[in-house]
């Protein structure tokens, strides 16, 4: 039976407090912020022949100077997670163009501003609130992207063209004149319900400079993911590897494992990450790096090894808003990799650190979708683990 048009709306936000001693010059620092304030929409024509998928992110207002996140880097910040752009995602999708031909394959097309088909899911909808260090290695987001995907049985192949430049501030749009200077491919296999394996390849032209005069990035990613029952209990787990190379300059690698189990309202979770990070010259504000880059050079590479243990509980709903309090703590080790003049022990005062975070995930309306997965999902188990009550 044909379905009529539909409109879904949702919102989320996380009031959070963080304290850490992984701070420049060997001190401890804490702050309270409202992070990930978002409004999401999904509008579809009859039988979902066309879908408009969007997300507005207001972090440019609530964390203008970024969120304290030891190890984070990118878009001018270090040890702080930068705010995302106000228009986080706005994609027009045709999720199954061949449905009327009754073929064993499905063709999907998409155009707009959103996630490039590369790597793993947006950390914003994964169990750990603290963003991983590898965010800029394992995802490519907020680009003007044209994509196509072909799905046949358990296999899917996606390809895209997009602009290489990253946003420089929250209200900036992609440089449309650069659309097509970068590309990606992603192959995904889902042999059984709940299991997924992906391998991705991408070339990103000059992501750090808008005028395309910076270093290019050659990127790889591979990950396995489980989201289904284990001994009768819902379990999510993911193991990923990613690599980004600036030819002639450096190669950054990352390995990450995370998992979450659910027992009624109780949800313990864990993440272990080992990621390389480039070190650039800081300004008078030790959390900010120099922009624009003058000579396309870095001061060295550091390796961040972080273990995070957390616990969340679904506390119910108040005025149709779900409340999910959580607390998570991280043990952090940062060491120097290879040469370079950046010495993390001198800069941070020590090599071993800690971070403690507590907050409440607030959500209303539709759950968060898997940003960057624009095809028609094969089953409900492929939704993000944080999207389900």
CATH at residue 332? 2.40.160.10
Assess if residue 302 is contained within a domain: yes
Q: Please, what are the averages of pLDDT over each run of 10 residues along the chain (389 residues)?
A: 82 97 87 96 90 95 95 93 96 89 89 96 93 96 96 95 93 93 97 96 92 90 96 96 90 97 96 96 90 71 97 93 97 91 91 96 83 61 45
Assess if residue 335 is contained within a domain: yes
0.75 cut: is pTM over it? Answer: yes
Assess if residue 300 is contained within a domain: yes
Alpha helices in 65-149 (DSSP H): 135-138
Instruction: Say how many domains are in the chain.
Output: 1
Structural domain range at position 214: 6-387
Assess if residue 1 is contained within a domain: no
In terms of Cβ atoms closer than 10 Å to its own Cβ (0-12, 13-18, 19+), residue 104 is exposed
Tens digit of each residue's pLDDT (9 = 90 or more) over 238-275: 999 999 998 878 899 999 999 999 999 999 999 999 99
Assess if residue 113 is contained within a domain: yes
DSSP state of 174: P
Assess if residue 42 is contained within a domain: yes
């Amino acid at each position: 039976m044909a379905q009529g048009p539909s409109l879904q709306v949702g919102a989320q936000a996380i009031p959070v407090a963080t304290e850490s001693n992984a701070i420049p010059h060997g001190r401890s620092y804490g702050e309270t912020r409202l992070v990930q304030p978002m409004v999401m929409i999904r509008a579809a024509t009859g039988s979902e022949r066309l879908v408009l998928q969007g997300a507005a992110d207001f972090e440019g207002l609530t964390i203008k100077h970024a969120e304290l996140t030891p190890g984070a880097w990118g878009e001018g910040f270090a040890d702080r997670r930068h705010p995302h752009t106000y228009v986080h995602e706005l994609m027009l999708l045709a999720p199954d163009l061949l449905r009327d031909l009754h073929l064993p394959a499905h063709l999907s097309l998409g155009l707009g501003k959103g996630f490039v088909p590369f790597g793993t899911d947006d950390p914003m909808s994964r169990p750990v609130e603290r963003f991983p260090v590898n965010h800029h290695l394992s995802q490519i987001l907020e680009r003007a992207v044209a994509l196509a995907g072909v799905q046949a049985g358990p296999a899917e192949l996606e390809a895209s063209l997009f602009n290489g430049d990253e946003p420089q501030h929250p209200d900036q749009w992609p440089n449309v004149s650069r659309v097509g200077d970068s590309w990606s491919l992603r192959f995904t296999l889902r042999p059984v319900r709940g299991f997924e394996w992906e391998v991705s390849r991408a070339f990103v032209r000059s992501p750090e400079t808008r005028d395309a005069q910076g270093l290019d990035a050659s990127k790889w990613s591979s990950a396995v993911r489980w989201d289904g029952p284990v001994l009768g209990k819902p379990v999510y787990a993911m193991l990923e590897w990613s690599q980004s190379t600036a030819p002639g300059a450096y190669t950054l690698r990352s390995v990450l494992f995370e998992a979450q189990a659910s027992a009624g309202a109780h949800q313990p979770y864990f993440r272990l990450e080992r990621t390389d990070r480039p070190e650039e010259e800081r300004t008078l504000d030790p959390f900010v790096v120099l922009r624009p880059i003058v000579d396309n050079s870095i001061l060295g590479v550091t390796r961040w090894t972080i273990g995070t243990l957390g616990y969340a509980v679904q506390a119910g709903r108040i005025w149709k808003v779900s409340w999910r309090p959580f607390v998570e703590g991280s043990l952090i080790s940062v060491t120097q990799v290879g040469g370079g003049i950046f010495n993390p022990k001198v800069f941070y005062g020590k090599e071993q650190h800690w971070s403690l975070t507590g907050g409440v995930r607030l959500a209303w309306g539709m759950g968060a979708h898997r940003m960057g997965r624009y095809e028609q999902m094969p089953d409900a188990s492929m939704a993000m683990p944080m999207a389900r009550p």
